[in-house]
Amino acid sequence: MGGKAVDADTQQLMRILLQQKETGFYFKDIGSWARTSAEAMDFVSSTAAIDFCAVNNLSEVQLVLKFDEQKYDIVLPVLPPPAFSENRTSKSA
């Protein structure tokens, strides 16, 4: 197994977190939210975080891809799955 040489000064770690939109608190555990990202639970992937929201009926949350430097953070909405596909119409523009 070949290893990669990584310069510790340039390595950027990313955490995948869930955040309440209204309060800004981060998901820590079932029924527990933290004020700071340092206390938040990390998800192994964005897909795992979104699936977790669906299984646990979490709404009004957003996905935060958090980096060492805040200026690189990315915030993405977590949309609920469509309840009724019959109400959806597709139009081509």
What tokens were used for 46? Answer: 């964005």
Asked if residue 82 is part of any domain, the answer here is no
Asked if residue 5 is part of any domain, the answer here is no
Return the pLDDT at 54: 92
CA dist., res. 79 & res. 77, Å (int):
6
Question: How many domains does the chain contain in total?
Answer: 1
CA dist., res. 14 & res. 66, Å (int):
5
Cα separations (Å) of 27 from 22, 47, 69? 13, 16, 20
Return the pLDDT at 85: 43
Q: What share of the chain is helix, strand, coil (3-state, %, to 5)?
A: 20, 25, 55
Asked if residue 83 is part of any domain, the answer here is no
Question: What pTM does this model have?
Answer: 0.74
Asked if residue 2 is part of any domain, the answer here is no
Residue with tokens 């009004």: 60
Return the pLDDT at 31: 92
Range of the domain at 73: 14-77
Query: Do 68 and 39 contact (CB within 8 A), yes or no?
Result: no
Return the pLDDT at 89: 53
Mean pLDDT of the chain: 84
Residues of the chain short of pLDDT 70, as ranges, are 1-12, 82-93
